[in-house]
């Protein structure tokens, strides 16, 4: 094993997800995760600050991608279309569906992780609303648009990770958006 | 002081809010709250399970009122109008604006309380979505409608408790709803 194995991060995540699923998040230690990945605890801590971060390490990149896309969307786009550009940029940050599904099952089984997820989404909504205000949108339209965009993102995500789903994430986003427009019309 | 002072609950809340605001939530004890209200700790615990509950005791009634109104809205109402009926019923559960403003300032100053508030809202959204499904609405429309209704409720609430605001809560709800329809049109 090379000291700077380029895929050690992915291997650690995979090992962690398997152990969280098999024996529960609380009963899995960092030592066990590292061992299963064939790596040391020290390597684990080079990639993740703690056990929980294996699940949430992608949130910062997701937020950065979404906010960046909203900020750089053409000025001619309506607020909701700028927010949708943010969702599309967020979609590109998602892992493959099997990994996303594994992650979601672990989070759903654990109230503390669900709370963490809620906080991450609230922070994302605040950041998108702020970006929309910088584009010149007033309140409460900016906060409402951000909340609506995240509701579209989340419902599309929940359908995407459903075992029975065979549709792509972008298709589900478009469908959620259409349904949103229908219910608010 | 009568043993069964009918307003002891209100006095405890008022005393708690004043102390939380003056010295911070963490540095206020139940003993101090009871003393300031001229009541005993035992009386405090007859009304609230713990210190945090002084801030969140209204959430259960709020959820019950909102869900009840959505469930009993005429079948002829569109999903969004049924959800708005829920918001209107929720509005009737709000305290006076000065108390709501005090409470909001305390929560905004404290991450743990903000998390609690997020969790309460997520639970409210889930309950409203479930009620909309019972009315025959499919997913993801039910979840989207519930999220949108709560976004309207929350943005109206935030504007209502703003020091500069002079408008009534129902007016702000109508305005948020109009703006929502404008951004999603």
Q: A97-108 and A141-160 helices cross at what angle (nearest 10)?
A: 100
Is the pLDDT at A184 greater than 90? The verdict is no
pTM above 0.95, yes or no: no
Q: How far is B27 from chain A (nearest CA, A)?
A: 25
ipTM of the complex: 0.85
Mean pLDDT, rounded, for B140-167:
93
Confidence of residue B6 (pLDDT cuts 50, 70, 90): low
> Which residues in B lie closer than 8 A to residue A80 (C-beta atoms)?
183-184
- Cα torsion A144, A147, A148, A149 to 10°: value is 120
Mean pLDDT (chain A, rounded): 92
Query: Which CATH number applies to B8-54?
Result: 1.10.10.60
Phi, then psi, of A3 in degrees rounded to 5: -60, -40
Report yes or no: A51 and A28 within 8 Å, Cβ to Cβ: yes
Which residue shows structure tokens 């929502």? B180
Interface check A159 vs B, CB under 8 A: yes
Mean pLDDT, rounded, for A36-48:
94
Is the pLDDT at A163 greater than 90? The verdict is no
Interface check A124 vs B, CB under 8 A: no
**Residue B3: what pLDDT?**
54
pLDDT tens per residue across span A103-137: 999 999 998 899 999 999 999 999 999 999 999 99
Instruction: Please name the helix (run of DSSP H) or strand (run of DSSP E) that holds residue A137, with its range, or none.
Output: none
**Residue A156: what pLDDT?**
94
| Cα A114 to Cα A108: distance, rounded to the nearest angstrom | 6
Nearest beta carbon to residue A118 from set B119, B139, B143: B119
Nearest beta carbon to residue B179 from set A140, A152, A181: A140
B148:A182 CB<8 A: no
Interface check B112 vs A, CB under 8 A: no
A144:B155 CB<8 A: yes
What percent of chain A is modeled with pLDDT above 90? 82
- A119 to chain B: closest CA residue: B115
Mean pLDDT, rounded, for A135-141:
93
A148 token code pair: 């609506």
User: Residue A156: left (phi > 0), alpha (psi -120 to 50), or beta?
Assistant: alpha
Confidence of residue A57 (pLDDT cuts 50, 70, 90): confident
Report yes or no: B60 and B124 within 8 Å, Cβ to Cβ: no
The CATH class, in words, for B58-184 is mainly alpha
**Residue B184: what pLDDT?**
86
> Which residues in B lie closer than 8 A to residue A122 (C-beta atoms)?
118
| Cα B153 to Cα B84: distance, rounded to the nearest angstrom | 9
Is the pLDDT at B173 greater than 80? The verdict is yes
| Cα A59 to Cα A106: distance, rounded to the nearest angstrom | 16
pLDDT tens per residue across span B45-67: 999 999 999 999 888 889 999 99
| Cα B157 to Cα B168: distance, rounded to the nearest angstrom | 10
Domain limits, chain A: 8-54, 58-184
In angstroms, the Cα distances linking B150 to A127, B30, B112, B118 are 19, 32, 21, 11
Give the number of other CB atoms < 10 A from CB of residue A136.
Answer: 9
Confidence of residue B1 (pLDDT cuts 50, 70, 90): very low
- B125 to chain A: closest CA residue: A151
Interface check B77 vs A, CB under 8 A: no
A27 Cβ contact list (under 8 Å, min separation 6): none
Q: DSSP of B67-113, one letter per residue?
A: HHHHHHS-TTS-HHHHHHHHHHHHHTT---HHHHHHHHHHHHT-HHH
Report the candidate in B80, B63, B59, B83 with the shortest Cα–Cα distance to residue B72: B83
Interface check A162 vs B, CB under 8 A: no
Report the candidate in A183, A129, A113 with the shortest Cα–Cα distance to residue B115: A113
Alpha-helical segments (H) within chain A:
8-23, 30-36, 41-47, 53-56, 59-72, 79-91, 97-108, 111-134, 141-160, 169-184
**Residue B2: what pLDDT?**
44
pLDDT tens per residue across span B93-103: 898 898 899 99
> Which residues in A lie closer than 8 A to residue B154 (C-beta atoms)?
143, 147
**Residue A58: what pLDDT?**
86
Interface check A164 vs B, CB under 8 A: no
What percent of chain B is modeled with pLDDT above 90? 82
Mean pLDDT, rounded, for A67-73:
96
**Residue B88: what pLDDT?**
92
pLDDT tens per residue across span B13-57: 999 999 999 999 999 999 999 999 999 999 999 999 999 999 998
> Which residues in B lie closer than 8 A to residue A145 (C-beta atoms)?
183
| Cα B178 to Cα B185: distance, rounded to the nearest angstrom | 10
A156 Cβ contact list (under 8 Å, min separation 6): A87, A169, A172, A173, A175, A176, B140
The SS3 of residue B118 is helix
Task: Give the number of A-B residue pairs with CB atoms closer than 8 Å.
Answer: 93
């Amino acid at each position: 094993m090379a000291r700077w194995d380029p895929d050690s991060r992915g291997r650690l995540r995979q090992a962690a997800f398997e152990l969280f699923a098999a024996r529960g998040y609380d009963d899995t230690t960092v030592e066990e995760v590292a061992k299963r990945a064939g790596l040391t605890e020290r390597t684990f801590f080079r990639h993740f600050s703690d056990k929980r971060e294996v699940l949430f390490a992608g949130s910062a990149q997701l937020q950065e991608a979404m906010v960046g896309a909203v900020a750089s969307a053409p000025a001619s786009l309506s607020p909701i279309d700028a927010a949708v550009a943010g969702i599309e940029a967020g979609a590109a940050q998602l892992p493959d569906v099997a990994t996303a599904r594994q992650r979601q099952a672990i989070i759903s089984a654990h109230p503390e992780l669900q709370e963490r997820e809620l906080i991450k989404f609230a922070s994302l909504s605040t950041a998108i609303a702020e970006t929309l205000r910088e584009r010149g949108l007033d309140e409460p339209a900016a906060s409402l648009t951000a909340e609506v965009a995240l509701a579209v993102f989340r419902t599309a995500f929940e359908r995407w990770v459903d075992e029975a789903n065979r549709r792509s994430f972008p298709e589900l986003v478009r469908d959620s958006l259409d349904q949103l427009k229908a219910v608010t019309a």
